[in-house]
Amino acid sequence: MKKKLIELQVNDEVHSLAVKPNDTLLDALRDHLGLVGTKEGCSVGECGACTVLVNGRAVLSCLTLALDATGVQITTIEGVSQGEALDPIQQAFVDHGAVQCGFCTPGMILTAKELLEVQKHPSVDEIKQALSGNFCRCTGYTKIVEAIRAASKEQGA
Amino acid sequence: MNEYHVIGKRLPRIDAKEKVRGQAHYSDDLKLAGMLCGMILRSPFAHAGILKIDASRALNVPGVKAVITGDDTIKAKYGVISRSPKFVDEYPLAVDRVRFIGDEVAAVAATDPDAALEALDLIQVDYEELPAVFDPDQALKPEAPQIHDHAPGNISREFHLKQGDVERGFLESDLVREDTFTTQSAIHAYLEPHAALAEWDMSGRLTLHTSTQTPYYVQQHLALTLGINPDRVRVIKPYVGGGFGGKSDGMAALDFCAALLARKTGKPVKIVYSRDEEFTAARQKHPVTITMKTGVKKDGTLVARQCKAFLDGGAYCSLGPLTTVLVGTFQTLPYRIPNYRYDGYRIYTNKPPCGAMRGHGGPQAHFAQDVQLDMIAEELGLDPVEMALRNGLRTGERSAAGFNIISSGFTGCVQKVGEETRIKEKKSSKKGARGKAYGIGLGCGGFPSGAGFYFTNTTSAHSSVIIRAGEGGGVSVLTGASDIGQGSDSIICQIVAEVLGLGLEDIRITSADTAMTPPDMGTYSSRVTVAAGNAALKAARAAREEIFRVVAKKMEANPEDLVAADRRIFVKGSPDVFTPFEQAVNLYQTESGGAPLVVRGSYNSPDKMSPTYSFGAYVAEVEVDLRTGEVQVLRITAGHDCGQPLNPMSVEGQVEGCIVMGMGYALSENLSFEGGQTLNPSFLGYRAPVANQCPEIVIHHVIGRDPEGPFGAKETGEGSLDPVTPAIANAIYNAVGVRIKDLPITPEKILRELKKKEKGHEKETD
pLDDT band at B571 (very low <50, low <70, confident <90, very high): very high
Distance CA B69, CA B378 (A): 59
Residue B624 shares a structural domain with residue B757: yes
Q: CA B195, B200, B203: angle at the middle one, nearest 5?
A: 160
Q: pLDDT, tens digit, for every residue of B260-289?
A: 999 999 999 999 999 999 999 999 999 999
CA distances (Å), origin A148, targets A83, A110, A140, B635 = 21, 11, 14, 20
DSSP reduced 3-state for B469: strand
Could you tell me the residue range of the domain that residue A109 belongs to? Answer: 88-154
Q: For chain B, give the percent of residues with pLDDT over 90.
A: 97
Residue A44 shares a structural domain with residue A108: no
Length in residues, chain A? 157
Domains contained in chain A, number: 2
Residues of A in Cβ contact (< 8 Å) with B486: 100, 138
B310 Cα to chain A: minimum distance (Å): 28
Residue A36 shares a structural domain with residue A102: no
- CATH classification at residue A136: 1.10.150.120
Residue A50 shares a structural domain with residue A102: no
Q: pLDDT, tens digit, for every residue of B133-149?
A: 999 999 999 999 999 99
Q: Which of A25, A49, A79 is the last residue of a domain?
A: A79
Q: pLDDT, tens digit, for every residue of B672-711?
A: 999 999 999 999 999 999 999 999 999 999 999 999 999 9
Distance CA B351, CA B281 (A): 9
Report CA Rg, chain A: 16
Q: Which of B584, B603, B622 is the last residue of a domain?
A: B603
Inter-chain residue contact A101 with B239, CB threshold 8 Å: yes
CB-nearest to B241 from A44, A101, A125 is: A101
* Residue of chain A with shortest Cα separation from B717: A138
Residue A92 shares a structural domain with residue A148: yes
A113 Cα to chain B: minimum distance (Å): 13
> Which strand (E) or helix (H) includes residue B570?
strand B568-571
Residue A136 shares a structural domain with residue A95: yes
Residue A118 shares a structural domain with residue A61: no
Residue A65 shares a structural domain with residue A132: no
Provide the angle, in degrees to the nearest 10, between the axes of the packed helices B747-765 and B724-736: 30
- CATH classification at residue B257: 3.90.1170.50
CA distances (Å), origin B412, targets A110, B394, B475, B501, B639 = 41, 11, 39, 33, 8
pLDDT for B432 equals 72
Kindly state whether B650 is in contact with chain A, defined as any CB-CB distance less than 8 angstroms. Answer: yes
Q: Is the pLDDT of residue B129 over 90?
A: yes
Residue B217 shares a structural domain with residue B233: yes
* Residue of chain A with shortest Cα separation from B490: A100
Of B614, B636, B632, the C-alpha closest to B417 is B636
The pLDDT of B392-399, averaged and rounded, is 98
Which pairing describes strands B155-163 and B339-348: parallel, antiparallel, or unpaired? Answer: antiparallel
pLDDT band at B433 (very low <50, low <70, confident <90, very high): confident
pLDDT for B1 equals 41
Q: Is residue B355 part of a domain?
A: no
pLDDT for B556 equals 95
pLDDT for B511 equals 96
Residue B99 shares a structural domain with residue B207: yes
DSSP states of B262-315? HHHHTS-EEEE--HHHHHHHS-EEPPEEEEEEEEE-TT--EEEEEEEEEEEEES
The pLDDT of A117-146, averaged and rounded, is 97
Q: pLDDT, tens digit, for every residue of B341-364?
A: 999 999 999 999 999 999 999 999
pLDDT band at B765 (very low <50, low <70, confident <90, very high): low
Residue B520 shares a structural domain with residue B569: yes
Residue A94 shares a structural domain with residue A65: no
Q: Are B286 and B364 spatial neighbours (Cβ–Cβ below 8 Å)? A: yes
Inter-chain residue contact A102 with B682, CB threshold 8 Å: no
Q: Is residue B313 part of a domain?
A: no
Inter-chain residue contact B658 with A140, CB threshold 8 Å: yes
Domains contained in chain B, number: 3
Inter-chain residue contact B191 with A103, CB threshold 8 Å: yes
- Above 0.85 for ipTM, yes or no? yes
Inter-chain residue contact A36 with B653, CB threshold 8 Å: no
Q: Is residue B145 part of a domain?
A: no
Position with higher pLDDT, B598 vs B760: B598
Distance CA B663, CA B622 (A): 11
pLDDT for A9 equals 98
Which pairing describes strands B562-565 and B507-510: parallel, antiparallel, or unpaired? Answer: unpaired
Distance CA B353, CA B364 (A): 17
Q: CA A129, A133, A135: angle at the middle one, nearest 5?
A: 110
Q: Which residues contact A27 (CB under 8 A, 6 or more apart)?
A: A19, A66
**Most distant pair of Cα atoms in chain A: their distance:** 52
The distance of Cα B173 from the centroid of its chain, to the nearest Å, equals 36
CA distances (Å), origin B679, targets A112, B94, B279, B569 = 33, 23, 10, 63
Residues of B in Cβ contact (< 8 Å) with A127: 691
Distance CA B260, CA B258 (A): 6
Of B190, B195, B321, the C-alpha closest to B245 is B190
The distance of Cα B698 from the centroid of its chain, to the nearest Å, equals 23
The pLDDT of B580-600, averaged and rounded, is 97
For B12-72, the three-class secondary structure string (H helix, E strand, C coil) is: CCCCHHHHHCCCCCEHHHCCCCCCEEEEEEECCCCCEEEEEEECHHHHCCCCEEEEEEHHH
Distance CA B725, CA B371 (A): 9
Residue B480 shares a structural domain with residue B591: yes
CA distances (Å), origin B150, targets B88, B89, B273, B322 = 10, 9, 30, 18
Q: Is residue B144 part of a domain?
A: no
Distance CA B713, CA B150 (A): 43
Q: Are B257 and B93 spatial neighbours (Cβ–Cβ below 8 Å)? A: yes
Query: Judged by CB atoms within 8 Å, which residues 607-646 of B form the interface with A?
Result: none
Of B184, B233, B759, B682, the C-alpha closest to A43 is B682
Instruction: List the single range of B448-457, B647-656, B721-730 with lowest mean pLDDT.
Output: B448-457
Report CA Rg, chain B: 27
Distance CA B234, CA A56 (A): 43
Distance CA B427, CA B736 (A): 12
The pLDDT of B581-593, averaged and rounded, is 97
Residue A43 shares a structural domain with residue A93: no
DSSP reduced 3-state for A53: strand
Q: Are B412 and B641 spatial neighbours (Cβ–Cβ below 8 Å)? A: yes
Dihedral sign of CA atoms A53, A57, A60, A65 in order: negative
pLDDT for A83 equals 85
CA distances (Å), origin B222, targets B206, B250, B560, B637 = 10, 9, 48, 44
Residue B572 shares a structural domain with residue B536: yes
Kindly state whether B63 is in contact with chain A, defined as any CB-CB distance less than 8 angstroms. Answer: no
The distance of Cα B456 from the centroid of its chain, to the nearest Å, equals 19
Q: How many CB atoms lie within 10 A of CB B71?
A: 11
Which pairing describes strands B64-69 and B613-625: parallel, antiparallel, or unpaired? Answer: unpaired
Of B15, B316, B286, B308, the C-alpha closest to B160 is B308
Residue B573 shares a structural domain with residue B717: no
Residue A10 shares a structural domain with residue A73: yes
Q: Are B245 and B661 spatial neighbours (Cβ–Cβ below 8 Å)? A: no
Could you tell me the residue range of the domain that residue B373 belongs to? Answer: 360-446+611-762
Q: Which residues contact B743 (CB under 8 A, 6 or more apart)?
A: B181, B182, B183, B184, B367, B665, B666, B670, B725
Q: Are B441 and B663 spatial neighbours (Cβ–Cβ below 8 Å)? A: no
Q: Is residue B63 part of a domain?
A: yes
Q: Is residue B352 part of a domain?
A: no
DSSP reduced 3-state for B631: strand
- CATH classification at residue B439: 3.30.365.10
Could you tell me the pTM of the whole model? 0.97
Residue B414 shares a structural domain with residue B514: no
Distance CA B537, CA B543 (A): 10
Residue B437 shares a structural domain with residue B527: no
Position with higher pLDDT, A107 vs A156: A107
Residue B398 shares a structural domain with residue B258: no
pLDDT for B2 equals 52
Residue A8 shares a structural domain with residue A67: yes
Q: pLDDT, tens digit, for every residue of B738-755?
A: 999 999 999 999 999 999
Q: Which of B603, B629, B659 is the last residue of a domain?
A: B603
The pLDDT of B148-176, averaged and rounded, is 98
Residue B747 shares a structural domain with residue B630: yes
Size of interface A-B (CB pairs under 8 A): 181
Inter-chain residue contact A104 with B656, CB threshold 8 Å: no
pLDDT for B3 equals 84
The distance of Cα B508 from the centroid of its chain, to the nearest Å, equals 26
Q: Which residues contact B45 (CB under 8 A, 6 or more apart)?
A: B98, B101, B127, B129, B130, B132
Q: Which of B570, B603, B636 is the last residue of a domain?
A: B603
What are the strands of the beta sheet with B288-296, ordered from one edge?
Answer: B155-163, B339-348, B302-314, B288-296, B175-182
Residue A92 shares a structural domain with residue A75: no
Residues of A in Cβ contact (< 8 Å) with B25: 36
Q: Is residue B35 part of a domain?
A: yes
Distance CA B283, CA B310 (A): 18
A77 Cα to chain B: minimum distance (Å): 6
Kindly state whether B681 is in contact with chain A, defined as any CB-CB distance less than 8 angstroms. Answer: no
Residue B742 shares a structural domain with residue B640: yes
- CATH classification at residue A73: 3.10.20.30
Q: Are A48 and A107 spatial neighbours (Cβ–Cβ below 8 Å)? A: yes
Q: Which of A52, A79, A106 is the last residue of a domain?
A: A79
Inter-chain residue contact A105 with B114, CB threshold 8 Å: no
Distance CA B476, CA B484 (A): 20
What are the strands of the beta sheet with B463-469, ordered from one edge?
Answer: B507-510, B475-479, B463-469, B597-603
Position with higher pLDDT, B222 vs B3: B222
**Most distant pair of Cα atoms in chain B: their distance:** 97
CA atoms within 13 A on the CB side of B344: 29
The pLDDT of B139-164, averaged and rounded, is 98
Q: Is residue B339 part of a domain?
A: no
Q: Which of A79, A106, A133 is the last residue of a domain?
A: A79
Inter-chain residue contact A131 with B690, CB threshold 8 Å: yes
Of B742, B703, B687, B699, the C-alpha closest to B723 is B699
Residue in B14, B36, B191 to test binding to A, most A beta-carbons within 10 Å: B191
Cis ω before B334 (30° cut-off from 0): yes
Q: Which residues contact B570 (CB under 8 A, 6 or more apart)?
A: B562, B563, B576, B577, B578, B579
